[in-house]
Amino acid sequence: MHPVLFQVGPITIYTYGFFIALGAVLGAWFMWWQGKKQYGLTFDQANALFLLLVVGGVVGGKLFLFFENPSFYFSHPQELLGKNGFVFYGSLLTDIPLMLWYFRKNNLPVLGMLDIMAVVTCLVHGFGRIGCFNAGCCYGKPTSSWAGVVFSDPTCQAQPLNTPLHPTQLYEAIFIFFILLVLLFIIRNKKFDGQAFLSYLILYAATRGVIEIFRGDIQRGFVINGILSISQFISLVLIIGSVYFYVKWRRNTTFR
């Protein structure tokens, strides 16, 4: 695809970074707008939360990337800090406890704010997957179907080049934006605080579990080799945990 969006003299703007930044800006705006409207979130609080989640997301995403292949990254630390990107689940599982701590610390409604953050996550992640598509990372398996996309730029990360691959990045982006629409509907009609957040976890985890079948970057790691990837295992745990809390919180709507 197009790993480089454009160049101006010595300055190179990468497509992956551009779409991540676009999603982050939209997500930060939505967080502040809805947080202020619903719960009196101040600009300073929103800014501090955004910076906290960015740091947590980077650290968690890189940490999970390291665990995919510890021996490789021990001997090639520059690859860990360089262009290899992040593991989304690492960022998510790091940021969730950070959000819980921050909301408690600032006396903000925990479950209500989590509903807002579910939409924020979709915005950042959805645009991020479009960036992945252009960078060639998170690529799919070879396919002869009509959906196949050929990556030819030698600087992109997709393998093999010049071969139709499942555009798993676009599959995921489409489903994430669909989930976003579902969440907006739920927020307008929700029966209890936390419903949108738990719905996001369930819907995304189910989507990710299926899309993993078409992924071609096998270096991401498996719990059961060739059968159950690490991401599918995490997805399964998230679905079970989220369904449990969905039932619990639905029965006890007094928790905030």
Nearest to 124 by CA among 1, 26, 10: 26
110-135 helix and 88-105 helix, angle to the nearest 10 degrees: 150
Average pLDDT over residues 84-92: 81
Looking at residue 256, what is its pLDDT? 47
69 pLDDT band, cuts 50/70/90, is: low
Q: For residue 164, list its beta bridge partners.
A: 150
Average pLDDT over residues 214-236: 83
Looking at residue 74, what is its pLDDT? 66
How far is the C-alpha of 6 from the C-alpha of 157, rounded, in Å?
Answer: 18
Quick one: three-class SS letters along 71-84? HHHHHCHHHHHCCC
- pTM of the complete model: 0.90
- Higher confidence at residue 73 or residue 36? 36
255 pLDDT band, cuts 50/70/90, is: very low
Per-residue DSSP letter, 215:
B
Q: pLDDT tens, 198-222?
A: 999 999 999 999 999 999 887 667 7
Transcribe 116-144 into DSSP letters: HHHHHHHHHHHHHHHHHHHHT-S-B-B--
Cβ atoms of residues 126 and 184 within 8 Å: no
29 pLDDT band, cuts 50/70/90, is: very high
Other CB atoms within 10 A of residue 155 CB? 11
Average pLDDT over residues 103-113: 96
Would you kindly state where each structural domain of the chain is located, as residue ranges?
A: 4-251
How far is the C-alpha of 196 from the C-alpha of 207, rounded, in Å?
Answer: 16
